[in-house]
């Protein structure tokens, strides 16, 4: 598919609207509509689906989402310079694109969705990618309003999302939260050269699909336990967990873990058991 729509090429759009990329807004634009279509298709069939996009910029991915059948796209963009370019796309796809002029970290998307489920598909601004993801992963009740996340991150962040204890250097709090709540995988890499301007490192598209049934535990306590354990990741649990309780041994025993284990050796299910043992300790 060399031509996905009859709108002008993105380079022309960017020039006409004076959209010089701003580093402070994490702006690395994709101009290749074949690539943005690949990202859109990687999310799964979009026919009639509602999609939330964060940071549409000049609209390369937005156009691909619409051309690939998304029934409705709700796009949140902080850079007002992009709004006229996005209005042109909205006019091309009447009634299917709603642009929210605002900060994605502050907008309550569930209000705009009116109770409908949505996929989130985005080439995220690298400077707020992790806080956005943690926010989506922390929503209650679970599963929440989004049915999948298909997101572009810097490769090193992508590796931290999908990591298991086998990838010790990358395995941490983010991987525990992400893999407790979702099935995660890296779909494909996108080279630096695909972006304008080129970032310093390769990016990757990551897919997260909510687990319908979670290993039960209180997220707040899971966070406290992983913060303590990975806060001193080289130390044994019997030492690092002193940050949450003066004597962690009973909690470690109740979780069926070795007191000499280190955070980076404990699988997600081990952290869930630790969080539940911590809850029992607090109520006991």
Binding map of ligand SAM across residues 149-188, x = CB under 6 A, - = no contact: ----------------------------------------
Q: In what order do the strands lie in the sheet with 146-154?
A: 97-101, 72-77, 50-54, 118-123, 146-154, 203-210, 182-190
Q: Which of residues 200-219 bind ligand SAM (CB under 6 A)?
A: none
Residues 101-140 that bind ligand SAM (CB under 6 A): 103-105, 123, 125, 128
**Bridge partners, residue 146, by sequence:** 118
Smallest gap, in angstroms, from Cβ of residue 245 to ligand SAM?
37
> What residues from 57 to 96 belong to the interface with ligand SAM (CB under 6 A)?
57, 60-61, 76-79, 82
Shortest Å, Cβ 147 to ligand SAM: 20
DSSP single-letter state for residue 215: P
- Under DSSP, the state recorded for 236 is B
Cis-peptide into 141, omega within 30 deg? yes
Nearer to ligand SAM, 27 or 276 (CB): 27
> Smaller CB distance to ligand SAM: residue 60 or 210?
60
Alpha-carbon separation of residue 186 from 44, 152, 156, 204, 230 (angstroms): 14, 10, 11, 7, 23
Instruction: Using the Cα atoms of residue 70, residue 119, residue 196 and residue 33 in order, give the sign of their dihedral.
Output: negative
What mask of x and - would describe binding to ligand SAM in positions 18 to 37, judged by CB under 6 A? Answer: -------xxxxxx-------
Closest distance between ligand SAM and the C-beta of residue 71, in Å? 19
Residue closest to ligand SAM, measured at CB: 55
Which of 102/250 has CB closer to ligand SAM?
Answer: 102
Beta partners for residue 73, in sequence order: 51, 97
Token pair recorded at residue 240 = 């690092």
Angle (deg, nearest 10), helices 33-42 and 60-67: 60
Query: What are 123's strand-pairing partners?
Result: 152
Binders of ligand SAM among residues 241 to 280 (CB under 6 A) are none
Nearer to ligand SAM, 131 or 231 (CB): 131
Contact 163, 171 (CB under 8 A): yes
**Residues near ligand SAM, by CB under 6 A:** 25-30, 54-57, 60-61, 76-79, 82, 103-105, 123, 125, 128
């Amino acid at each position: 598919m060399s031509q996905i729509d009859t709108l002008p090429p993105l380079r022309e759009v960017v020039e006409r609207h004076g959209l010089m990329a701003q580093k402070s807004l994490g702006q690395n634009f994709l101009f290749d509509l074949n690539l943005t279509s690949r990202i859109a298709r990687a999310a799964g069939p979009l026919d009639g689906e509602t999609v939330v996009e964060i940071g549409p910029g000049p609209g390369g991915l937005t156009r691909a989402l619409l051309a690939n059948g998304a029934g409705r796209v709700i796009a949140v963009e902080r850079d007002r310079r992009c709004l006229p370019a996005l209005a042109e796309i909205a006019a091309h796809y009447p009634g299917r694109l709603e642009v929210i002029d605002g900060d994605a970290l502050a907008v309550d998307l569930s209000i705009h969705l009116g109770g409908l489920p949505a996929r989130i598909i985005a080439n995220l601004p690298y400077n707020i990618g992790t806080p956005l993801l943690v926010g989506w992963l922390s929503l209650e009740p679970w599963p929440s309003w989004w049915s999948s996340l298909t997101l572009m991150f810097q490769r090193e962040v992508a590796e931290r999302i999908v990591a298991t204890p086998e990838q010790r250097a990358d395995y941490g709090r983010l991987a525990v939260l992400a893999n407790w709540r979702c099935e995660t995988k890296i779909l494909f890499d996108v080279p630096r050269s695909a972006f304008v301007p080129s970032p310093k490192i390769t990016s990757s598209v990551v897919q997260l699909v909510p687990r319908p049934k979670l290993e039960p535990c209180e997220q707040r306590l899971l966070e406290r336990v992983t913060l303590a354990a990975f806060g001193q990741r080289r130390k044994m649990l019997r030492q690092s967990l002193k940050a949450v309780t003066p004597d962690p041994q009973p909690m470690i025993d109740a979780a069926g873990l070795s007191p000499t284990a280190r955070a980076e050796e404990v699988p997600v299910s081990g952290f869930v058991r630790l969080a539940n043992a911590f809850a029992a300790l607090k109520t006991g």
